[in-house]
Amino acid sequence: MNKLVLNFALLAALSAGLSAHAQKKKEVINDSNTPLHLLQPDYQVGYGIVSAEDIKKDMDRVLRYLESNTPTRVVDKRNGKVITDYANMDTNAQLERGTFRLASYEWGVTYSAMLAAAEATGDEAYKKYVYDRFKFLSEVAPYFKKVYEKYGTTDAQMLQILTPHALDDAGAVCAAMMKAQMKDKSLKLQDMIDNYFHFIMYKEHRLADGTFARNRPYHNTLWLDDMFMGIPSVALMGRYASDHNDKYYQEAVRQVLQFAERMFVPEKGLFRHGWVEGMKDHPAFHWGRANGWAILTMCEVLDVLPANYPGRDKIINLLQAHVRGLAACQSKDGFWHQLLDRNDSYLESSATALYVYCMAHAINKGWIDAMAYGPVVQLGWHAVSSAINAQGQVEMTCVGTGMGYDPAFYYYRPVNVYAAHGYGPVIWAGAEMLNLLKHQHPRMNDSAVHFYPTEQQTKEPIFFYSEPGNPREFVAGVSRINEKSPVAFLIGDSTVKCGAGNGEDNKWGWGSYLQNYFDTTRISIENCALGGRSSRTYFTEGLWNRVLPAIKPGDYVLIDFGHNDGGPMNTGRARASLPGTGDDSKKVVMEKDGSTEEVYSFGHYIRMYIRQAKVKGAKVIVMSHTPGNRWTDNRMNRCDKTYGKWSKEVAEQEGVSFIDLNDLTAKKFEAMGKEKTAAYYADSVHNTQEGAVLNAESVVEGIRSLQNCDLKDYLK
């Protein structure tokens, strides 16, 4: 009974505490002017858009740490004195012991990562790190070999190079050396490459079908780690060898598919860590870093296989299935777990970094979709960044790990900043993130990270996607300075914004220059016009409905249509409106798809824009369209009997401002004369830069002349 009373007391206290916490949160929310759905969540690690500058800072911190902890000297192990006379070395000579070994498989990964970082950043320090150590090893290796031949022993670290006994000793460093040698022919790495590769191809234990295997912990055991420890170097040799022998590509593809046949678990999209020949039930422990080695292997092989090489498509399909499985296992803070499908196992940094690199690389290569997986790698990089401490050490990295057949083995593997496995993956992930940001454009939209193929110019927290030149993907967000500052929205055709608004084919719209005349510290100009649109199709293609939600009280809407409202109604570009301002309409069958559309008058569409903008609290200015370069008896043709006339009539009927842009600009050109005017036009309708500026000046003159429009207060 006492225990029951105590439990009720604890529950009551907990409930009171939660209520107080909820009340506190409520008070904070009620005191905020921020919309509730835009309140910042309490993320445990970073969230949002990461900058290339911040990525590079993280990478540089790791580089500096590694530079100071991987010396390139030979010393006497008895007294630590530096040896420079390599010819007289004996068994007391050894590589100076730094924090990490220069020829371990972990450092093979680090060397490859550093080479990738040098390309991604253009920073020679990363390449220098690799070249300095490879030159040192190639210089001292022959002398250590002589010591070994003379005495039967030598430095244990050098023995990994001279007498490899496992794929761990050979594959990763061999691959990195081939990459470096292909970049710089002056490096003298051939002897070491040959020695490594000979072991990989002819001395490593294999199954009967040739798959790389080990005899621990059982006879004929496959380790997922060995995909990376052996296969990438074999694939690279297909490109590296002077005869570009096809047998190396064949061997690499065969190895990948034979590993996958035994070790990939399709229903989870993950690889098991181990497989033993003759075992009936193979334990499926999906260890994080081993899955990292597997997907890294696929990336390395695909990078060197020729296009359309037999089996390449199978590897791409396997990689895509693996990515799907991995993405489903990512934790809420961006890390992946030590055992991928067991969320109570600890979060681990080296696997996370490997996945960030491989997924970013797959996006950059076009193997997977940026929209689906860009946010995954972005969140993953935030996690990786949080694991890099102030000294440049990588935390949360699992130490070297054998193979286990029970969960406790993996759950309780130690983590340590001196686990070398984390450093190469972190550098590689950072390098590929930089490459990703060169081609993709992540933005926060409605509080979430999204990846876009083109830069989204708006600064609004919620916006519609914009694709330059695509009439159905259109900016509806807006670069509003602050909540109280107004925006002037421009809607119209190509004479307002031509193409992407960047002057392609020397064609410009006046909307591209209007902001030059305004104080843009107080007002924003949002050019939402789109080429080829008429008063009708700007609405029917959904463009207006993307602008309208962004309009707020106190904003302005400037309307300029007319150039494209003639022509056919239901064939070809099918954009014509009925002439005039009446309420009449006509149903037409659209040639493109057989649908029926009810077409209204030009004035009807202009009236609709005005009324809907006014309901949103905006002030509206209607304009006659810009004049084309057409003349009659030395006078530029006007639109005062058609679209200019109808625009003015609707503006007067709806009680909004009107600017006769057509007449203002035509008078300026008439003053210049027909010959000089030609330089202001790219064709009979579209303006050059000079013509667009002149039209913008006419718009500004019209704004200044308006009696009851305070938009002029924002002019410079």
- Domains of the chain as residue ranges with CATH: 52-448 (1.50.10.10), 480-708 (3.40.50.1110)
* Rounded-to-integer distance, Cα 91 and Cα 77, Å: 9
Mean pLDDT of 637-655: 97
Residue 577 backbone phi and psi in degrees, to 5: -105, 165
pLDDT in tens, 15-24: 444 444 444 4
Among 421, 403, 413, which Cα is nearest to 284's?
403
Q: Would you place residue 33 in the very low, low, confident or very high pLDDT band (cuts 50, 70, 90)?
A: low
Query: What confidence category does residue 514 fall into, taking pLDDT thresholds of 50, 70 and 90?
Result: very high
CA-based max dimension of the chain = 108
Q: 147, 141 in Cβ contact below 8 A?
A: no
Pick from 321-325, 589-593, 633-637, 665-669: least confident: 589-593
Q: What is the pLDDT of residue 464?
A: 74
Lowest mean pLDDT among 5-9, 213-217, 385-389, 390-394: 5-9
Q: Nearest-5° angle of CA 411, CA 417, CA 423? A: 100
Rg over CA atoms, the chain: 34
Mean pLDDT of the chain: 92
Residue 704 CA to chain centroid, in angstroms? Answer: 45
pLDDT higher than 50, residue 661: yes
Rounded mean pLDDT of 43-62?
Answer: 95
Q: Which residues contact 57 (CB under 8 A, 6 or more apart)?
A: none
pLDDT tens-place string over residues 117-143: 999 999 999 999 999 999 999 999 999
Tokens found for residue 424: 């190469």
Which residue in 592, 600, 602 sits closest to 564, CA to CA?
Answer: 602
Location of structure tokens 């005191």: 31
Q: Which pair of structure tokens corresponds to residue 112?
A: 């490859």
* pLDDT tens digits along 612-630: 999 999 999 999 999 999 9
User: Residue 11: what pLDDT?
Assistant: 39
Distance CA 549, CA 476 (A): 8
* pLDDT score recorded for residue 551: 93
pLDDT of residue 2: 42
Q: What is the pLDDT of residue 129?
A: 98
What does the pLDDT look like over 460-479, one tens digit per residue? 788 777 655 443 334 444 56
- Over residues 173-178, the mean pLDDT reads 98
Residue 245 binned pLDDT confidence (cut-offs 50, 70, 90): confident
Residue 3 pLDDT exceeds 90: no
3-state helix vs strand vs coil in the chain, percent to 5:
50, 10, 40
pLDDT above 60: residue 600: yes
Task: Using the predicted structure, report yes or no on whether residue 390 has a pLDDT greater than 50.
Answer: yes
User: How confident is the model at residue 711, as a pLDDT?
Assistant: 97
Strands 487-492 and 524-527 turn out to be parallel
Whose CA is closest to 541, among 557, 530, 552, 550?
530
26 vs 662, higher pLDDT: 662
Residue labelled with tokens 């260890």: 287
pLDDT at 30 over 70: no
Is the predicted pLDDT of residue 345 greater than 60, yes or no? yes
The per-residue pLDDT for 10 is 40
The better pLDDT of the pair 568, 41 is held by: 568
The proportion of the chain whose per-residue pLDDT surpasses 90, expressed as a percent, equals 85
